[in-house]
């Protein structure tokens, strides 16, 4: 693909932040296509010089100037990455001066605090949350509901499991997962087990035809996956949420990040790590 | 906490990028403590005006100027958030002009492409990877190893499970999880089941005393958690990796993000979504 522009996401740590903001910016441009390359752990002048040479080579042979999105913290490493023939967008340097001025304090320029493990206790809390959502994914117990920060409720395949995992990994939140069974849906009351935890409940719903599609991948031509059954289950779940005042959102057009951050916000949950 | 400075992370979508870069910048300052607030889905002028009023109020009552990190895309919404008495750090506006100039194209200013669901197929791939790591977490089958993009190998509690989940959620990578049993560790050869997949293997190791600590939380005073046993298992696992040329890293001082991005990079894996 000789006509694609090469884009580098460079970081002294994981590169996740540089990728994420860099990609947000790139999504604003429709015409060009990009070859993306992430270069994590560029934390010495030598590594930065080697990478700069590689970017220089690409700049010499490509028709288009490479883009370099970087969040490197150390000044000497950053300096080694200034490639004349590339557009370097520096997420760190651009803002740090303004912040120093406002905070009246020099930046420490220490690497690895953002996605690092500087706080072992918080880290353990996060792993505990992950294990919580893994261990309690199928078959909920009262104890689990009691311990949970939030209880996600919805029909099978409405997006509960990946959302629970994301809430644990991204926010350290213990999310329990309560799948609404056909019996639950037939009853006019809330599932008995959930009654003491009504305040923690958060409903997920989904467009019946999307649900039909997802379930058909798993069990083609089953009653479970049929359009009729999907429509009925979704209707009953939504009536239950409305009737009992359980907040709920539709996951149909949302990414896992969007579902999780909406729940954090709407349920007033606080990041635990 | 009247003396803490208030920090807002504002976004028209999830706020995850603004939080992530904002926090990276703030970790560079040691003296001040911050009250952090994330405001996702600020996607209309009205919502931005309401938030601006709230920030204004805080600015009037606090001793310190609030900080506002924002990644809002739409110009009119962004404009409504310009609070005179706050330091607004705009991750979008700051760079978009430079990029427009280089790419020779106007930004589309369309919201929601970064963590959105604009590509249903890629999204399904991601969910499939999550389900893959969930379904194959305990008890690996040949078929799973065959289908996997990478096979994480290590003793119990060396960090395989959260890493597999993060690889799935963040990168759409199917990571299988092979726990080394005491029998595997006693043998001089690689576990038989892994032989055909040697090229996909990636080892995780951990400091024996950290392992002892983690295992003791689960099964206090067990042989499994004893310092002696942890030391022996870790030694044997590391010899196995070295002897068979399996790349491996120590998870002891690494966050899940760091472990996952190191594996992506060292195993030359390519993001699947």
Q: For residue B107, which residues of chain A lie inside 8 Å, CB to CB? A: 28-29
d(CA A92, CA A74): 10
pLDDT for residue B139 is more than 90: no
Least confident span in B68-77, B130-139, B233-242: B130-139
Q: Please give the domain boundaries of chain B with CATH numbers for all domains.
A: 5-103 (3.40.50), 120-266 (3.40.50)
Query: H helices of chain B, where?
Result: 16-26, 45-61, 75-80, 93-103, 120-135, 142-147, 160-171, 182-186, 208-218, 227-243, 256-266
- Per this entry, what is the length of chain A? 273
**Mean pLDDT on B114-143:** 73
- Model confidence at B126, pLDDT cuts 50, 70, 90, reads confident
Establish whether B161 is an annotated binding residue: yes
Q: For residue B40, which residues of chain A lie inside 8 Å, CB to CB? A: 261-262, 264-265
The minimum CA-CA distance between B46 and chain A, rounded to whole Å, is 18
Establish whether B154 is an annotated binding residue: yes
Cross-chain CB nearest to B14 (options A71, A73, A261): A261
Closest CA to A28 of B46, B71, B60: B71
Closest CA to A39 of A66, A2, A76, A63: A66
The minimum CA-CA distance between A71 and chain B, rounded to whole Å, is 9
The ranges of chain A with pLDDT < 50 are none
Establish whether A157 is an annotated binding residue: yes
pLDDT of amino acid A112: 56
Establish whether A112 is an annotated binding residue: no
The minimum CA-CA distance between A256 and chain B, rounded to whole Å, is 8
- Model confidence at B4, pLDDT cuts 50, 70, 90, reads confident
* Tens-digit pLDDT profile for residues A135-184: 765 567 888 899 999 999 999 999 999 999 999 998 999 999 999 999 99
Helix (H) or strand (E) holding A144: helix A142-147
* Tens-digit pLDDT profile for residues B163-208: 999 999 989 999 999 999 999 999 889 999 999 999 999 999 999 9
Asked if B109's CB is within 8 angstroms of A28's CB, the reply is: yes
- What ipTM, to 2 d.p.? 0.84
Cross-chain CB nearest to B257 (options A28, A109, A115): A115
pLDDT of amino acid A233: 97
């Amino acid at each position: 693909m000789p006509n694609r522009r090469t884009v580098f996401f460079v970081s002294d740590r994981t590169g996740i932040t540089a990728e994420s903001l860099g990609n947000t910016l790139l999504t604003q441009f429709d015409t060009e296509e990009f070859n993306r390359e992430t270069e994590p752990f560029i934390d010495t002048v030598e590594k930065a010089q080697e990478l700069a040479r590689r970017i220089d080579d690409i700049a010499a042979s490509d028709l288009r100037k490479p883009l370099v999105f970087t969040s490197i913290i150390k000044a000497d490493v950053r300096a080694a990455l200034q490639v004349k023939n590339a557009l370097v967008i520096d997420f760190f340097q651009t803002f740090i001066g303004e912040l120093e001025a406002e905070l009246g304090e020099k930046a420490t320029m220490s690497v690895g605090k953002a996605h690092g493990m500087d706080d072992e206790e918080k880290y353990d809390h996060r792993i505990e949350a992950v294990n919580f959502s893994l261990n309690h994914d199928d078959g909920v117990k009262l104890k689990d509901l009691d311990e949970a920060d939030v209880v996600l409720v919805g029909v099978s395949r409405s997006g509960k499991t990946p959302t629970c995992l994301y809430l644990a990994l991204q926010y350290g939140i213990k999310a329990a997962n309560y799948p609404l069974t056909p019996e639950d849906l037939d009853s006019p009351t809330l599932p008995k087990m959930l009654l003491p935890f009504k305040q923690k409940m958060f409903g997920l719903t989904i467009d019946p035809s999307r649900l039909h599609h997802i379930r058909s991948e798993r069990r083609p031509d089953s009653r479970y996956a049929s359009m009729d059954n999907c429509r009925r289950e979704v209707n009953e779940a939504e009536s239950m949420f409305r009737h009992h005042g359980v907040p709920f959102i539709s996951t149909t057009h949302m990414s896992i990040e969007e579902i999780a951050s909406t729940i954090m916000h709407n349920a007033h949950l606080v990041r635990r790590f």
